[in-house]
Amino acid sequence: MKLYRYQKPGGSALTRICQVVVAMTRKINVDVPNDSSLLYEIPGKESAIVGSRKLMHTDGLSFFDRAATITSSDEKFLDSPNPWKLCTVTQVEELKVLARMLPVLLAGIIFNTAEAFFPLFIEQGEVMDNRIDSFLIPPASLTAFNCLCIIILAPLYNKVLMPMVSRITGAKRGLSELQRIGVGMVFAILSLFSAAIVEMVRLDIAKKKDLVSQSAVVPMNILWQAPQYFFLGVAKVFSVVGFIEFAYEQSPDAMRSLCQACSLIMVTLGSYLVSVMLKFINSITEGSGSHGWIPVNLNEGRLDQLFWLMAGLHLLNLLALTYCAMRYKRKIAT
């Protein structure tokens, strides 16, 4: 009995993308026919791309359709056309799908900056009172609220929330991938709002207690940080899963691995973006007698301003995602 099935490689997705771009560029002056049935596609139900269903032609991004437009020079080689000169409709639609997915995936960069703020959350907790009676709570241990939220909410969503929401929306999964991403982004904003409010109150207490010039713990209980970790956990349950589902469901069949990888790259880019932003903000806010927003002594800083800034950035990101989601065209496979 065979335990392993060997599947032959079906070609590079990046090569197919390049072929469409090259073929389109070569026909930059060619007019695209109004009748999409005149565009090139192999006959039959099977796609020319191994492991992929045929994709139906869609309106929009019509400049890519030049790659599938048959010219007089192409008619001689329709039996075996050069893919760098003439592409199938399915191949062109693959690139269209990626182009439509790109804004949503890019929105994931900003979303993933929220989790990259965990080190600042911990630094914030280090200048708060971490005592509960005689028990000391390490600031980093509050990330457990984030983990517990994910552990509890993930199965709860599938077993309880999804059936309830599906009765309202009529959708099998309750929320679409884009709606799920949007809900997660709302909770990411709430997390940053919570962190900013906690920091404002903490700085106010430090000022009243005359602790601003001292690198001292402010008498404000560290458990006030719990909501910001909790909200971020909820955000991950919705958005991270939403991004993965979106990358899998909406990507072309033969590009699912590529799109899944892209959704994970957004996590890395979000972390890099935070590093660049923090250096840039420090360089602007420091100097002229100012300690900057993130000094060594946080009692002298304005960490709350940073949280408000990021919350505003996440809000703009949510609005951009909403705009893209309203205009998004889902793929149509045969």
Q: Which amino acid, 159?
A: K
More confident residue, 275 or 160: 275
Q: What is the pLDDT of residues 267-322, one digit of tens each?
A: 889 888 988 988 888 888 876 566 778 888 888 888 889 999 999 999 999 999 99
Report the pLDDT value the prediction gives residue 200, as an integer from 0 to 100: 92
Q: Which two tokens stand for residue 192?
A: 């940053």
The pLDDT assigned to 2 comes to 61
Question: pLDDT for 37-73, tens place per residue?
Answer: 888 887 766 666 766 777 888 888 888 888 888 888 7
User: How far is Cα 294 from Cα 282, in angstroms, rounded to an integer?
Assistant: 7
Cβ pair 108, 70 in contact under 8 A: no
pLDDT above 70 (res 155) = yes
Q: What is the pLDDT of residues 3-43, one digit of tens each?
A: 766 666 667 778 888 888 898 888 888 888 888 888 888 77
Q: Quote the CATH superfamily of domain 97-327.
A: MFS general substrate transporter like domains (1.20.1250.20)
What are the boundaries of each domain within the chain? 13-93, 97-327
- C-alpha closest to that of 126 among 199, 192, 193, 197: 199
Kindly tell me if the per-residue pLDDT of 141 is higher than 60. Answer: yes
Alpha helix stretches (DSSP H) within 59-176: 89-111, 118-126, 143-156, 162-169
Q: What is the pLDDT of residue 9?
A: 63
- Most confident segment among 253-262, 311-320, 324-333: 311-320
Report which of residues 197 and 218 the model is more confident about. 197
CA distances to 65, 114, 269, 313, 314 from 193, rounded to whole Å, are 45, 11, 23, 12, 11
Q: Is the pLDDT of residue 328 over 90?
A: no
Share of the chain residues as helix, strand and coil, in percent rounded to the nearest 5:
65, 5, 30
Comparing CA positions, the residue from 202, 188, 183 lying closest to residue 312 is: 188
